[in-house]
Amino acid sequence: MKKLLFGTIGLSLVLVFPILTMAMGRVDVGVAIPLPPPIVFAGPPHVVVIPETNVYAVPDVDVDIFFYGGWWWRPWEGRWYRSRDYSSGWNHYRDVPSFHREIPPGWRNDYRAHRWKDHQWNPQRVPHQEVQQNWSNWEKDRHWEKQNTWGVKDLKHRTDSQQQNREVQPQSRPESRETVKQHDPQPRHENSDRRKDDKRDRRKDDKRDRR
């Protein structure tokens, strides 16, 4: 009787334990990262380019939405999300995008005050369609930097200033001895021989004159 009782309990444990394990595994696998709530736009949003970057921001909403590298980006509850569409299709991005380090936290205040690093900033509102079609070429050709320095008055980009300094003050290298010899049409020993010959000819001429 006891053997039968213990056998029944053991069989029950064998059957129940895998079921519990599978249930726990399903719970772990089923844990999903929440997605940010959708943002309702009246139409495709206009953007402004953040000075000294190739990052575009949507200034007309209270949450941060950026466009960079062909993706739309937005932070939400300590996480980052990206999508090919500005209004839907958000997917979790595991890290902080590198471009965000170039954007100051108070960029909205700078936008509203039309100031950037103590310079007057006249931000240009760019239509959504133009950004989608041209962002790659604009980044490749340094469009915003060359056209109007991002709309910031008297702003000088670091790369430009360095290039100008290199062009204005080229580094002069002293010529080596081999280079000097190549530029010298007559070697030194040939010059000395010619001088000796000239002196001999002069002596001969003097002797002839005396005779």
Q: Model confidence over 190-202: pLDDT tens digits? A: 445 555 555 555 5
Does residue 116 form part of some domain? yes
Provide the H-helix boundaries in the chain. 2-29, 107-113, 128-141, 143-148, 158-168, 177-183, 188-210
Domain count, the chain: 1
pLDDT digits (tens, 9 = 90+) for 131-171: 999 999 999 999 999 878 899 998 876 554 443 443 334 44
Does residue 195 form part of some domain? no
Q: What is the mean pLDDT of residues 175-195?
A: 46
Report the residue count for the chain: 211
**Residue 45, SS3?**
coil
Look at residue 15 and tell me whether its pLDDT is greater than 60: no
**60 against 26, higher pLDDT:** 60
Does residue 28 form part of some domain? no
**How would you class 179 by CB atoms within 10 Å of its CB: exposed for 0-12, middle for 13-18, buried for 19 or more?**
exposed
Contact 44, 65 (CB under 8 A): no
Does residue 58 form part of some domain? yes
150 vs 147: CA distance, rounded Å? 8
Contact 120, 114 (CB under 8 A): yes
Structural domain of 146: 48-155
DSSP state of 72: E
- Which pLDDT score is estimated for 45? 95
61 vs 38: CA distance, rounded Å? 12
Does residue 4 form part of some domain? no
Does residue 179 form part of some domain? no
Does residue 38 form part of some domain? no
pLDDT digits (tens, 9 = 90+) for 27-79: 344 568 899 998 889 999 999 999 999 999 999 998 999 999 999 999 999 99
Q: Which two tokens stand for residue 112?
A: 């509203």
Does residue 60 form part of some domain? yes
